[in-house]
Structure 1
Amino acid sequence: MTTSIRLTGETAMLAFAARMAPLLREGGLIFLEGTLGAGKTTLSRGLIQAFGHEGSVKSPTYTLVEEYSVAGLRVCHFDLYRLGDPEELEYMGIREYLDEGTLCLVEWPDKGAGVLPAPDLVIAIDDAGDSRILNWQAHTPRGQRWSEGLAGLV
């Protein structure tokens, strides 16, 4: 089952991310899908800052991953847009990032197809002009718990 919410403006996206954060404290894998400029990094920044990170949150477009340790939670933010081949993930040690207590946010997950495991949750962000529509779908029992929690925020 897919659930969705329409958010107008960056402030609304950041506020929704802040409301999402408490649901995601156990760690897991979230795929973020959408076109360039749809808001994947904005949503990630909102989550990471909601967990307590006070510095800037930059897009890991060139580094592939930025790691944050906040309030006892490890958050890894991936941007695979520039990934040449999914096998590159093996060389960078992707499995070390995907441990049970780490929250992994993966932008452009299709670039890692065949190497990335199935996500707990997929959040697709559709550009609707001055607003964004977030659609999410669970793929695991953890993802189902998150999806139900997110539905309660709508």
Structure 2
Amino acid sequence: MTEKTYISHSVEETEKIAASICPELKNRRFLCFFGSLGAGKTAFTRGIVKELAPECLGLVHSPTFAIVNEYLGKDVQIFHFDLYRIKDEDDLYSTGFYDYAERGGIVITEWSENFEYVLPIDAIRVKITTLDENTREIIVDY
């Protein structure tokens, strides 16, 4: 796997970094986030959606309460999961997680550390670390 490190100084920069990795999502269907609350996981997702399904951009928000948000673009389907409140594999199964994975779209997971053992080995892993109020270190492992 290849690892790239980026420094973002704004939400807009985070979105641009996200857009830059979209070509990798043609061959891999899982993008998995690791990072604390408020680190920028949803901003990164917004950058992916802006690039791949811009008609869905206004729909992007954290799926904390819904568990999964679907962005059904003209050319691609993106399924955005928040695994924070999922307690065990039975809960994960009940969300339809495995069914979404088989639908051929891109699956994005926030709080991936909670279920790393069920994620594909070839998933793109994105670790976002807050350095200060506006600055983030983003490590992308392809």
What is the TM-score normalised by the length of structure 2? 0.85
Name 2:44's counterpart in structure 1: 43
Q: How big is each residue's C-alpha offset from its partner over 1:89-139, in whole Å with a ceiling of 9 and x where there is no partner?
A: 11222211112731111000122344444352111011111311111223x
What is the TM-score normalised by the length of structure 1? 0.79
Decide whether the 8 Å contact of 2:28 with 2:123 is kept in 1.
Answer: no
- CA distance in 2: counterparts of 1:81 and 1:96, whole angstroms: 19
Counterpart of 2:72, as a letter, is S
- CA distance in 1: counterparts of 2:28 and 2:72, whole angstroms: 12
Counterpart of 1:91, as a letter, is S
Which ranges of structure 2 fall in alignment gaps of 5 or more residues? none
Which ranges of structure 1 fall in alignment gaps of 5 or more residues? 139-154
Matched, 1:136 2:124: no
- CA distance in 1: counterparts of 2:46 and 2:4, whole angstroms: 22
Counterpart of 1:66, as a letter, is N
Tell me the CA shift for residue 63 of structure 1: 1.1
Counterpart of 2:50, as a letter, is Q
Counterpart of 1:127, as a letter, is T
Q: How big is each residue's C-alpha offset from its partner over 1:29-63, in whole Å with a ceiling of 9 and x where there is no partner?
A: 11101111110111011211222124231110011
Equivalent residues in 2 for 1:14-93 (5 A)? 14-26=15-27, 28-51=29-52, 52=54, 53-93=56-96
Name 1:148's counterpart in structure 2: none
Specify the SS of the correspondent of 1:11.
helix
The structure with the largest helix share of the pair is: 2
- CA distance in 2: counterparts of 1:73 and 1:116, whole angstroms: 20
- CA distance in 2: counterparts of 1:95 and 1:33, whole angstroms: 20
Name 1:146's counterpart in structure 2: none
Name 2:97's counterpart in structure 1: 94
Q: Quick one: structure 1 residues 29 and 132, their matched pair in 2 at CA, closer, same or farther if it must change by over 3 Å?
A: same
Root-mean-square deviation (CA, aligned residues, Å) is: 1.9
Q: Quick one: structure 1 residues 27 and 68, their matched pair in 2 at CA, closer, same or farther if it must change by over 3 Å?
A: farther
Percent identity between matched residues is 28
Decide whether the 8 Å contact of 1:27 with 1:101 is kept in 2.
Answer: no
Q: How many residues end up aligned between the 2 structures?
A: 138
